[in-house]
Structure 1
Amino acid sequence: MKTFARVSGFLLVCISGASPVLAAAPDANAQGFKAYEKGDIRKAHGLFEKALKKDPANPYARLNRARTTTLLQHKEDIDDACDFASNWVYLALADLSEAVKSNRAAILPKIDEDQKGLKALKALDAYKKWRKAVSVLAGEKGVADSVLGTTSEWLYVHPGQVPLFVKLGADQRVIETRSDMSEHPTAKWKRSGQGVEIAPEKAPATPRSWTLQSRESFFNQGTAFFYELLLVPDGEVPQPASEWMSGPLVAGPITEDCS
């Protein structure tokens, strides 16, 4: 009788047109996070990659893959800083950037609170520059003080030319470091609102305002990006006393000439 009742019930379901309830497929990101918490980092990494193949915009899977990428590769030496495809620092920052872009309000606190997966990444200057760029993007309070409160170093990059390092010193001098590593004072700077004002030492010595901005810097043939920090002059600079005064100045994870 019991067997007959079960069969009859199944037939009634089929006749009525109702579909049997199927269990939802397990979420790869959730499975990966369980493996991550248990310390199986390699398994977790594979599951996060699986989750991102299904949904590349998933900010939590992006954050989690940045964690496992860091944990799996942070002890490896980086022989070529411009080999983006194998540089774990850039790959982790790219995942964090995508996660922040998708859901900044939810993801940024998790990044800031992380003391496990991202610990090695957070110790690097590349991450610190990235985080300042995100601070500008988010309009966080005190970001100008954080970026410009002490000596800050910037890069002027022009395609086909050797990058020029520009330092805004604590003594208010602007110092160029040229290709022969010689240093040359070329201007004076001072804080102005959320940016700076820079006046060349030589004519034309008209002070010009520069503002802090953030932008997406693409690499790997445009398939990935991370945020970088900019100082951008307001308006065009006619006949600048030094080439870098046409801007922008960049403070980002990439400090090599990878053009």
Structure 2
Amino acid sequence: MPTSLSKPTRGSLLLMLCLGLTQPALAKAPEANAQGFAAYGKGDYKKAHALFEKALKQDPSNVYARLNRARTTTLLNQGKEDADDFDYCAFERNWIYLALADLSKAVEHDAKAILPKIDEDTQGLKALKARDEYKKWRQAISVLVEEKGIREKVLSTASDWWFLRPGQLPKSITLAADKRVMETLQDMTEQPAGQWRPLGGGVEIKAGKEPARPWKLLAGKYAFDQGNRFFFELQLVPGEGPQPAEYGWSTGPLSIGPLSGDCL
């Protein structure tokens, strides 16, 4: 007759658990992003923000934690940009650019899953979405995901571009409605600098006496915080063709994005 097994004591169970000898049906604790979203739903945005940050330390590729951190960054900081001591151009502390950086990273990893949630958000991102910086960012995202007809729409409405030359003041380049390229000088006067015309999903630009070249419309990245973060912006990038003899705006790229010209 078989001998009956005695019921394990509490001490023996603890020992088996420590040694990995059993697989008891224990409830798994919610992960940090889920805990944060629960706090977010209750309106405890400070607690939620800390949990979203914890989730991203555990898994930087968690796109939902990035989206959620952009929400709490917005909710915890909206309105601070109106304070006298707010430094708009300190990008690594400016909530607007921090939120856009999280959204950019999330969209880069999984645009199909994240973009609809961004577009549908009417609470957490409300203050951000009302800003011009977001609208320019969203336009770049439209180009990134190649929304139907977006390139033609952008080129018909976006005319004022920036050329950033390292160590120098930026230049404003306008693709005027009359198909002239206008360069804004330091005294704020404009001078003709070439001609342009639509070409496929981009443009063709003839700068001065240089041969005409095609330029592609792309969603480029603007890096900040020592390269640790970025947000998307619109860029016109020269394609193949003879290179300009001198370094200038015709070497490209030209950009339109969330960044204010006053900070360049």
**TM bracket, shorter-chain basis:** 0.7 to 0.9
**Corresponding residue for residue 35 of structure 1:** 39
**Corresponding residue for residue 60 of structure 2:** 56
**Corresponding residue for residue 92 of structure 1:** 99
Which residue identity is paired with 1:251?
I
**Corresponding residue for residue 83 of structure 1:** 90
**Corresponding residue for residue 212 of structure 1:** 217
Question: Does the 8 A contact of 1:93 with 1:127 survive in 2?
Answer: yes
Superposed, 1:92-171 pairs within 5 Å as 92-171=99-178
Matched residue SS, 1:162: coil
Please give the alpha-carbon distance, in whole angstroms, between the structure 1 residues aligned to 2:129 and 2:110: 20
Question: Deviation of residue 169 (structure 1)?
Answer: 2.2
Please list the CA deviations of residues 69-113 of structure 1 after superposition, one character each: whole Å capped at 9, or x if unmatched. Answer: 111112012733331221111100110111112211100111111
Please give the alpha-carbon distance, in whole angstroms, between the structure 2 residues aligned to 1:48 and 1:234: 41
Which residue identity is paired with 2:48?
A
**Structure 1 residue runs of 4 or more that deviate by more than 6 Å after TM superposition:** none
Return 174-183 or 63-72, whichever deviates more: 174-183
Please give the alpha-carbon distance, in whole angstroms, between the structure 1 residues aligned to 2:213 and 2:149: 22
Question: Does the 8 A contact of 1:164 with 1:177 survive in 2?
Answer: yes
Alignment counterpart, residue 243 of structure 2, candidates 228, 237, 242:
237
Question: Deviation of residue 257 (structure 1)?
Answer: 7.0
Question: Deviation of residue 22 (structure 1)?
Answer: 3.0
Matched residue SS, 1:66: helix
Question: Deviation of residue 258 (structure 1)?
Answer: 5.8
Q: Which runs of 5+ in 2 are unaligned?
A: 1-5
Matched residue SS, 1:145: helix
Please list the CA deviations of residues 179-230 of structure 1 after superposition, one character each: whole Å capped at 9, or x if unmatched. Answer: 2211222222221110011223x424x3221111122222111111111221
Alignment counterpart, residue 202 of structure 2, candidates 182, 195, 202:
195
Return 114-123 or 249-258, whichever deviates more: 249-258
Which residue identity is paired with 1:87?
N
Question: Does the 8 A contact of 1:175 with 1:183 survive in 2?
Answer: yes
Return 79-88 or 92-101, whichever deviates more: 79-88
Question: Deviation of residue 250 (structure 1)?
Answer: 1.1
Please give the alpha-carbon distance, in whole angstroms, between the structure 2 residues aligned to 1:46 and 1:146: 40
Question: Does the 8 A contact of 1:82 with 1:256 survive in 2?
Answer: no
Identity %: 54
Please give the alpha-carbon distance, in whole angstroms, between the structure 1 residues aligned to 2:78 and 2:170: 27
Q: Which runs of 5+ in 1 are unaligned?
A: 1-6
Please give the alpha-carbon distance, in whole angstroms, between the structure 2 residues aligned to 1:257 and 1:157: 12
What is the TM-score of this pair, normalised by structure 2? 0.85
Question: Deviation of residue 173 (structure 1)?
Answer: 2.4
